[in-house]
Amino acid sequence: MLKLTKIFRDEFGHTDKNFGQHFLVNDHYLNEIVESLEISDEKNIVEIGPGCGALTLKFLEKGAHVTAVEIDKKLVDFLERYLFFYNNLEIIHDDFLNIDKYQLPPQFSFAGNLPYNLSTKILMKTTAFHERIDKMVFMFQKEVASRINAVPNTKDYSWISVISRYFFDIKKIRNIGGGNFWPKTKVNSTVLVFTPRKRHFQDSNREKKFLEMVKKSFVTKRKTLKNNLKNEIPDIENILEELFANKSIRAEQISLEGFIKLYERIYT
């Protein structure tokens, strides 16, 4: 077990189940995460949920400036006690979902082992910082990562797949078994790397309306797209026939580019 995690375990004996805390203790996998961010001296890293600081310490030793956002006061106190001598560390005691743009550096990379029950919300929150992000590396529950990284015509494809790829190119690094965490977990995890891509819509109102349309398209997955959208778009059946030659097409059959084409046909 890694030194900081062992110290925490010896002091407190357990993690807080309310926050879903499971700390990665496999040093090889931690190094892979660090390497995936291509850290150089003075690079800004925003770490969401640093936990005991195992990953934080590796970033600091690489010379990065780390802004660690931690909701658990016990962990904030722990990190302040054991990492106080690093002047390239800033700790923010808050829920990341409450963080605003003024609290983070002008340009940075995100990293973190995300709490599984909030990982989708956190991922969507990061899009608010899209223009300032160099790269992101996050660990998700394996099933959630599969939905994020899914492609059309697969069972995992959903609105989160489309919206994630609207903002980012996504690459899977590896799966990690539950035995590599303390405490051990019965679920497996997956590490994904996100690289920002150019957003199609420059107008924020059009972009917001597009993202809402994507979500509504998947609101009832078993229904056809025309049934999910017919209340808002009376002519949807003819539009689908025109664009896809299939008026009974389902949302999970349509790529990101297809959704953009659909939006522009409807609202332009």
Annotated binding site for S-adenosyl-L-methionine: 22, 24, 49, 70, 95, 113
- Is residue 152 reached through a cis peptide bond, with omega within 30 degrees of 0 on the bond before it? no
In the sheet where 44-48 sits, what is the strand order?
89-93, 65-70, 44-48, 108-113, 133-141, 189-196, 168-176
Separation between Cα atoms, residue 234 and residue 104, nearest integer Å: 44
Which DSSP category does 108 fall into? Answer: E
Phi first, then psi: what are they for 51, rounded to 5°?
Answer: 65, -130
Beta strands in 49-187 (DSSP E): 65-70, 89-93, 108-113, 133-141, 168-176, 181-182
Indicate the annotated binding residues.
Answer: 22, 24, 49, 70, 95, 113
Separation between Cα atoms, residue 201 and residue 208, nearest integer Å: 9
Separation between Cα atoms, residue 242 and residue 239, nearest integer Å: 5
Which DSSP category does 171 fall into? Answer: E
Task: Name the helix (H) or strand (E) containing 8.
Answer: helix 3-12
